[in-house]
Amino acid sequence: MKFPILKEYEFAILMADGETGVILDLNFDIYQNDTENQEVYYICESIQKAKDFVDKTSLTHEKVEFIIYNSKKEVVKFIKAKYFP
């Protein structure tokens, strides 16, 4: 899994299963290290768009947690999954 090259104003979102911590791809499938072209980072043009993506996605995927990174590969925000049984 290679971190994307981001412009200074862009942000990358990585998703994981909130129960197991397993990384998910953009189709909410388990990331397979040996699978080619499996996208795991969602790129946004601003922190607000990143937060909007998280809010919208978490409505239908309540067990997913999110990590938002800036262009320097620093964690900007960690959002816990909304639902645990």
Q: How many domains does the chain have?
A: 1
- The answer to whether 78 and 67 have CB atoms below 8 angstroms apart is yes
Question: Would residue 44 count as lying in a domain?
Answer: yes
| Residue 26 is assigned to a structural domain of this protein | yes
Whole-prediction pTM:
0.91
Q: Are 3 and 12 in contact (CB under 8 A)?
A: yes
Q: Which domain holds residue 42?
A: 11-79
Would you state the pLDDT for residue 81?
A: 94
3 falls within a domain: no
Average pLDDT of adjacent 10-residue blocks, the chain of 85 residues:
93 96 96 86 97 95 97 96 76
Query: Is residue 74 one of the residues assigned to a domain?
Result: yes
- Please give the Cα distance from 70 to 58 (Å, whole number): 20
Strands 41-44 and 75-79: unpaired
Question: Does residue 30 form part of some domain?
Answer: yes
State residue 84's pLDDT score: 65
Q: Is residue 47 assigned to a domain?
A: yes
